[in-house]
Structure 1
Amino acid sequence: MRLRDQVESLVRSWGAYEEARGGRQVIDYDCAPTDAPITPATSRIDVYDQLTRLNQQAKADGETKVEQTTRAHLAYLSCVLGERPELDAYMRATQGCGTAGWSEEYVVELGDRARKAYADLGITWDANLADAVEQLETPMTIERAATQVQVLADEAEPVVRELTGTTATYTVDVQVVDIDDYWSFWVDGAGHHSRLRFNQRTAVFTEDGLRFFAQHELLGHALQLSSFAQTAENEDVDWVRTMTVHLPYQPLLEGLATAWPIYTEPHNAPLMAKARLNHYLHIVRGEVHRAINAGFPLREVAEHVLARAPWLSLDQIGNLLSDRGTEPLLRSYLWSYTAGTDWFMNLGDQADEATIKKVLTAVYHHPHTPTELAELWPAGPTFGGDGAPIVLRRPTAG
């Protein structure tokens, strides 16, 4: 059995073990599903030992993609087992990029762009912004959202296919669930079939918000991962086909999915405002990620968030801190939104049409790490920021 397939077999076994004990899901999308029976691993330590052996073999054989994937799995599993690696090293091993951060001037610039976009829509940048945006975007029920999400994805799909050249097909099973976790929407699956879950504990539905998430979840995840599966069916790929969110392909998957509306509907003012706000907030969340892992006092970090985004609740801010500071998977995975969104928003804003087309076509053919994306657009920004000290702000009085 070739080394790639050995890793896939081990990861499936690890996933079965975690499922049996109620642990975190390991495989989020299997691009080469198998009907063969899967025997759960005997322990996390056993998985760790096998990953170590496979990683060493990949290094010796010069199988770079397998080495990157096993290194990421080892870093994440080590964290699950109790290690607490320094943040930048952990992100380089799992998400494939650093955590140097962005300058104050850049963060303020992004905030000003989002502020202006909403001011043009009559919405004030204050503690009531979230409520005002919800009313602007027209609230909708979870039942309507479940029936409309595919309709909205279908509307944008021709543009996505034109930009990416993908011919893959996909199907999706939409489910409404009640799960005590941070996420509101989640896609997973295998081959050409996906499952989209709406978490009724956390999801808030609006007409424009659902349009955004239809593109993110169905066209940015379900269709893209089905495209990877199609490539794996037609080519002898060198990358490990069991995808999980702690791998260095995730900045691509989350970044492009979050930025898709600026490519598909650049003249839709409410959707563009939402995209600008998301970009800004992901950078702010990145500041939180860096600060809490650098040991800054949590109350000072919370005050900083309120200075950046006064409409966020203390409950939301508490979740930001704990998700990025203590939970092994989220400490890795959530950085992908910050680094990936920044890169793909800048690609849409700054690159010429030929470069955009080249990048989007490539990333719907097979997965790319941040290093590989940078090779497609050398003029693009540095994943994870060019470097800035952590400086916390305080809300202004009044």
Structure 2
Amino acid sequence: MSARDAIEHALRAWNQHELGRGASAVIDFDFLPPDGDPPMPVDRLTTFERLSELTTEVQDPAVLRRITADLAYLRALMGERQPLDAYIRATQGCPAAGWPAEYVAAKGEQARACLDALGVGWGPTTITDLAQAEGPIDADAAPDAIRQAATEYEPAVRRMTDTSAPYELAVETTSVDAYWAYWLDGAGQRVRLRLNMRNATFTKVQVRQFALHEVLGHGLQSASIAMRCQAEDVPWVRLSSVHGPQQVLLEGLAQAMPLFVSPDDEALIARVRVDHYLQLVRAELHLAINAGTPIEECVRHARQRVPWWTNDRIAGTLTDRSADPLLRTYMWAYAAGIDWFANLAETDSALISRVLHAAYRSPLTPVDLEALWPQGPTVGGLGSSHN
């Protein structure tokens, strides 16, 4: 058994352990699911020791980056608390540097201009007013509407990414007390989209956004990578985990997808611009709370930046990004990813095609992204006032 195959076996066994104890899954997408029953569960410490042993056998840099992420996350699960930058570098593969306050404010002005064009003001009711302007739809109609939007966008996404991979989509609804409203996972060509009805809202614009993000972003992208894994013996670990260094690519491209596919859709682009700004603000809070900034100061900053955020939303953001070992790493991928890909959308078409084609063939890491665009921005930012 190769070192990569041994790592995959260890991760699958660890995943069974986490599922058995009711914790978050370790594996979110299995690009090459094995035949037969899953391996017997293996606990965290045994997995940590096994992966540590396997590091001596790893030669491929991509595999080493992946196993480094797994070991760092296991350390966090067992109580070790690395400084944020070290933890993010080990897991997401990029620095937790952040962005200058002036840059964040400029993206806020860009978002505000997009909202103004839609007749939506900036204040405590912005998100409610935006939803009304977009046209709310009934939650029961959302799954079919998302499927329909995905069908309409699919030819364009396939052309841009040069993929012919098939996929089978299942849409499920659930209601759980968690931060997420939409979640996609799967194995091979099977893709599952879950809608968390406790947090999800649905408008005509959001349906288009989620079709591009979840179905044609995460779903088709993962199925495309899986198809390559079936056709050739790729060198990297064939499992996707949100604590791993491919997450910047996955979340970044999925959030920015409308910029590439539907740049003339004014309402949809407004959503992307608002999301870009909000992710940068969340990154500011991520850095602040992990640097020991008092809660009162974090709350003041959040309210000044985003006047429509509720107390519950602010408290949850701070808790998730400081106290939860998984979200402390994973949440950084959203800001790092959307910022890099939003900047990519402003470059020439040849570069965009090169990156998007590569992104639907391999689980690219920040190192890979920066190699594809050496003149591009540093993934994870260049620094902020909280460093």
TM-score using structure 2 length? 0.98
Deviations 1:20-73 (A, max 9, x none): 111111110000101232233342110110111112321xxx221221111100
Matches within 5 A, 1:53-202: 53-58=53-58, 62-202=59-199
State the identity as a percent: 44
Moved more, 181-190 or 135-144: 135-144
What is the aligned partner in structure 2 of residue 248 from structure 1? 245
- Give the partner amino acid of 2:16: A
Matches within 5 A, 1:1-398: 1-58=1-58, 62-349=59-346, 351-390=347-386
- Give the partner amino acid of 2:11: V
Structure 2's unaligned 5+ residue stretches are: none
Runs of 4+ with >6 A deviation = none
Distance between the aligned counterparts of 2:363 and 2:44, measured in 1? 27
Give the conservation status (yes or no) of the 8 Å contact 1:41–1:47: no
SS in 2 for 1:260: helix
The CA deviation at 1:286 is 0.4
The CA deviation at 1:388 is 2.1
TM-score using structure 1 length? 0.96
SS in 2 for 1:339: helix
Distance between the aligned counterparts of 1:39 and 1:360, measured in 2? 35
What is the aligned partner in structure 2 of residue 394 from structure 1? none
Distance between the aligned counterparts of 2:201 and 2:56, measured in 1? 46
In 2 relative to 1, CA 297–383 (structure 1 residues): closer, same or farther, beyond 3 Å? same
- Give the partner amino acid of 2:56: Q
SS in 2 for 1:237: coil
Give the conservation status (yes or no) of the 8 Å contact 1:177–1:198: yes
Give the conservation status (yes or no) of the 8 Å contact 2:98–2:283: yes
Distance between the aligned counterparts of 2:206 and 2:186, measured in 1? 23
Distance between the aligned counterparts of 1:81 and 1:298, measured in 2? 26
Q: How many residues align?
A: 387
The CA deviation at 1:260 is 0.3
Task: Calculate the aligned-residue CA RMSD, in Å.
Answer: 1.0
- Give the partner amino acid of 1:336: A
- Give the partner amino acid of 2:110: R
Distance between the aligned counterparts of 2:352 and 2:336, measured in 1? 18
SS in 2 for 1:356: helix
Distance between the aligned counterparts of 1:226 and 1:3, measured in 2? 24
Distance between the aligned counterparts of 1:69 and 1:2, measured in 2? 15
